[in-house]
Structure 1
Amino acid sequence: MLCTSIETRQVEAVDAISAIEWDGLVPPGDLFCSHAWLRHLDEAAGPRPVLTISIGNRLTGATALWDGEQMPGLFHLPDFFPELPGPWDRPFVWLGARRSVRNGLICTAGPQRSSTLSHLLAGTLAHARENERAGVVMPYLPVSAARELGRAHPAAHVLLHSAEATVAVPPHGTADFVAHAGGHNRKRRRRELRDFTAAGFTLEWVDLTPEIEAAIAPLIASTRRRYGNGQGVVWMLRVFAAQRRVGLHDHAKVLLCYRNGRLATVAVCYRHGDSLHGRYFGSDEAASRDGYPYFVTTCYAPIDYAARNGLPRLFLSTSSLEAKIRRGATVEPLAAVVLLDHDELDVERVRAHNRDLARGYRDRFPKYLSSLSRDWLDFLS
């Protein structure tokens, strides 16, 4: 019987690996796992190491490695599980794309998937030990992916920590989206679309060109600054330039929203497989909020675009969940897989944490329980 060797290897950056090999392991729709997305992050912010698993000289799994952030926010581990005792204030090895609020498993779909994931977690934990980290964490995973990865190591835990808004795009876009809503929500959506037009707003979908980048970067930077991200216009232009160098601009589409000839709001979306991802939003702080430009730019218009282009899934990210659920989005849980080096988490406390977080989302949206995905139910008992 032939013995097929399994090799764990660390390389300096994702561009050391063939894009064809890498993307062959990425499921359709997992934009932020793609070779181009990770490479553009390296282009913009400097390379980060990648751990790979190969079986018989064939790549079967991989993950990027990074450090998380020290400031409170979306990538600061002490903010994830404040009531759960653990070494959260110590440095961890983070798995997945930098500053991504949606991760996935870059892994073969064949019979070697289970062993690949086991070696992937074992290899990243060894890396954590070598670098004196408390352990490894892969956050912002859909529950199904988190559970599968969690089963790959006996000491791994699945911990809920956030949620995202998604839309199952109807065939006729916003027309279906409005028609199939309940009475109150149907009136709300029709009023918002009617008021948007009456307020003098117009929409235009354009490609992500250097001229468009220069026009939209100030609005995006201004909006990000209001929410604590101070990287500014220069940073956004650097990101867009990096996307251009790796070809991501071919997957981008920009929605420009004008009022009286002046740019009021912008949204940048990216196609991947069967999905459309809303990634960047910006607005002119001096522009009027009359007419619901935010909701039209970030929700209604992307639904129409996705429907026209045969994309059945729309991902609206983790922000403004209440506003998005009121307009028909589904709220789905996101989880982290945590694997500690020496410390242990109490299993009952982990269950209590997951139950309490799921109940928190249920109680937060009592009028919209049907808009919570079924994945929440398993944590509520």
Structure 2
Amino acid sequence: MVAVVVEHLSSVDDVAGSAWDGVADPRELFQSRAWLRALERSGDAPVTYLIARQRGDPRILAALPLHEVPPSRGDYLYWPELHFQDLLARSRGGRLGLLAGSCAGFGAGLILDRTLPAPARTAVLRALRQAADAVAAERGLPYTCFLFLGPSAWRDLAPVTGAGDAVRLAGVALTELELPGEDFGDYLATLPRNTRTSVRRETGTFARECESLIVPLSEALATVAPMIVNVRAKHGMAYGEATVTRRLAAYAAALGDESAMALLCRVRGRTVGAAVLCRWHDRLHVTDFGRLDDQAPDPFVYFNAVIYEPVRHAYAAGLSSVVTGAGAELGKARRGAAIHPLLHLAWTADAGQPIDTAPADQRAHHWRTLRGAHPGYFHPTWDELL
């Protein structure tokens, strides 16, 4: 059995670069030192990093950033209370707990040494759980929450999750489009005939009526942020421009101008929509979409901004896939993306207390119904969850 010790560090820079890079997944943007440094500089730093090691060994076995996400910060999508409203009766002052792992993106895995055998991984995660429970308790919070977990993370966390914890499928799912062949024509060729017809119409109308331009995100913050605020407000999330701008600036700081980009869609010289593109290793992430809220002409701006133009850019850059984000899952799947499950998990400090499973059952029924109607759209990882 691994003898695990857990340290509390205040900055990712307190960890040697080689040690962090040796355990973080190189394909995960939100596990990278660059991203965490950018968060720290933006004022959204984790309250602590839990670092698990074997006693006497400097190598990192696992790491778990813990974030404080109060409503005053305005980042409602990553507010645990939004996703576990049924647990609020047990909250203290309306707060449920700290946010563990990532406070951005969807489908993130754990920062965990993959060479460890399963029993050792479980021992390491159990030690991290105990440390996270202690940090939450110090702040008077009854839970430690993970949001938008991918299936691989859930497989690792399941052995240290038990009675009194809450786990449920998220109300949105991650979509990702693996790029076939070498160019946009190869992508089109993989789609069903009726979908190809629709895509040609949507891209043709967009090309006639709209101009697209990719610029460094750092140069477009003032243009893009208000548009993202408009879209989120329509979905019931009252984000402020300062909150969105701070997050976009973190992308720009972490990735630089070559990899953090804004795709601007212009009609007669006026920007009517925009998408945020973040390149990391061999994937292009479409992290956000925004548009004007003034009934401006819409030459199929949404699907061109979040799918077709990013796909063209990814082919030109030699990338392998476009992560098209969460939401509008069926529309994206119809255009070639696969739907991947996301989960929320709340660890409780009171392991003997039962919870109401109705919210989890309702989410499972929702996704089971959609999958039954469109089985080809859903990634096989749903098999283990439904």
Give the TM-score, by structure 2 length.
0.83
Once the two structures are superposed, residues 188-238 of structure 1 have per-residue CA deviations (whole angstroms, 9 ceiling, x without a partner) of 22221122123x2122223334x3334434433443444423321x44444
Q: For the residues of structure 1 that align with 2:230 and 2:298, how far apart are their CA atoms? A: 19
1:94 correspondence with 2:94: no
Partner of 1:7: 5
CA distance in 1: counterparts of 2:19 and 2:258, whole angstroms: 20
Distance (Å, rounded) in 2 between the aligned partners of 1:212 and 1:113: 43
Q: Distance in 1 between matches of 2:75 and 2:259?
A: 32
CA contact (8 A) 1:137 1:339 kept: yes
Deviation, structure 1 residue 114: 4.0
| Correspondence for 2:83 | 80
Q: Does 1:171 align with 2:164?
A: no
Cα separation, partners in 2 of 1:214 and 1:86, compared to 1, 3 Å: closer
Change (3 A) 1:201 1:367: farther
Query: 1-side partners of 2:107 and 2:145: how far apart?
Result: 13
TM-superposed CA distance for 1:157, in Å, is 5.9
Measured after TM superposition, the shift of residue 141 of structure 1 is: 0.8
Partner of 2:333 in structure 1?
325
Aligned partners of 1:123, 1:97: CA distance in 2, in Å? 17
> Could you list the per-position Cα deviations for residues 219-266 of structure 1 after superposition, in whole angstroms to 9, with x for gaps in the alignment?
33443444423321x444444444455454443132222222222222
CA distances 1:60-82 after superposition (whole Å, capped 9, x unpaired): 21111123445895334454356
Q: Structure 1's 357 and 269: CA in aligned 2 closer, same or farther, altered over 3 A?
A: same
Uncovered stretches (5+) of structure 1, i.e. residues with no partner:
none
Task: Give me the identity figure in percent.
Answer: 25
Q: Is the 8 A contact 1:28 1:274 kept in 2?
A: no
Using the TM superposition, give the Cα deviation of residue 158 of structure 1 relative to its aligned residue in structure 2, in angstroms: 4.2
Query: Hey, what does 1:110 align to over in structure 2?
Result: 115
In structure 2, the CA distance between the partners of 1:287 and 1:19, relative to structure 1 (3 Å rule), is farther
Aligned partners of 1:74, 1:214: CA distance in 2, in Å?
21
Q: Deviations over 1:289-326 (max 9, x none)?
A: 43201110111111222223232232222222233233
Aligned partner of 1:283 in structure 2 is 291
Q: Is the 8 A contact 1:165 1:315 kept in 2?
A: yes
Q: Quote the Cα distance in structure 2 between the aligned partners of 1:329 and 1:86.
A: 39
Q: SS in structure 2 opposite 1:219? A: helix
Deviation, 1:151, is: 1.7
What is the deviation of 1:5? 5.3
Change (3 A) 1:18 1:268: farther
Q: Which amino acid aligns with 1:201?
A: C
- Do the aligned residues in 2 keep the contact of 1:140 with 1:335 (CA within 8 Å)? yes
Match of 1:26 in 2: 24
Quick one: structure 1 residues 290 and 146, their matched pair in 2 at CA, closer, same or farther if it must change by over 3 Å?
Answer: same
Confirm or deny: 8 A CA contact 2:181 2:187 kept in the other structure: no
State whether residues 106 and 150 of structure 2, in contact with CA within 8 Å, keep that contact through their aligned partners in structure 1: no
- TM superposition score normalised by structure 1: 0.84
1:59 aligned residue:
60
Q: Deviations over 1:160-191 (max 9, x none)?
A: 22322221222234323322222322222222
Which residue in 2 is equivalent to 1:255? Answer: 263
Gapped regions of structure 2 (runs ≥ 5): none
Distance 1:173 1:151 in 2: 43
User: Distance between the aligned counterparts of 1:372 and 1:292, measured in 2?
Assistant: 25
Question: What is the aligned-residue RMSD (CA, Å)?
Answer: 3.1
Counterpart contact for 1:268–1:279, Cα < 8 Å: yes
Amino acid at match of 2:301: P
Distance change >3 Å, CA 332–CA 11, structure 1 → 2: same
CA positional deviation for 1:10 = 1.2
For 1:107, give the aligned amino acid. Answer: L
1:56-105 per-position Cα deviation (integer Å, ceiling 9, x unaligned): 12222111112344589533445435678984665222202325444320
Mapped to 2, the partners of 1:171 and 1:197 lie a distance apart of: 23
Could you say if the C-alpha distance between residues 152 and 218 of structure 1 is closer, same or farther in structure 2, counting changes exceeding 3 Å? same
Amino acid at match of 1:231: G
Report the CA distance between 1:127 and its aligned residue: 2.0
Summarize the Cα distance change of 1:151–1:157 in structure 2 as closer, same or farther, 3 Å threshold.
farther
- Mapping of 1:124-135 within 5 angstroms? 124-135=132-143
Check whether the contact 2:26–2:32 (CA below 8 A) recurs between aligned residues.
no
Q: Which amino acid aligns with 1:33?
A: Q
Q: Quick check: 84-93 or 45-54, which moved more? A: 84-93
Report SS of the residue matched to 2:77. Answer: coil
Q: 376, 379, 386: which one pairs with 1:370? A: 376
Residue 192, structure 1, aligned to residue 197, structure 2: no
Tell me if structure 2 keeps the 8 A contact 1:264–1:287.
Answer: no
Task: Tell me, in whole angstroms, the C-alpha distance in 1 between the residues paired with 2:206 and 2:254.
Answer: 36
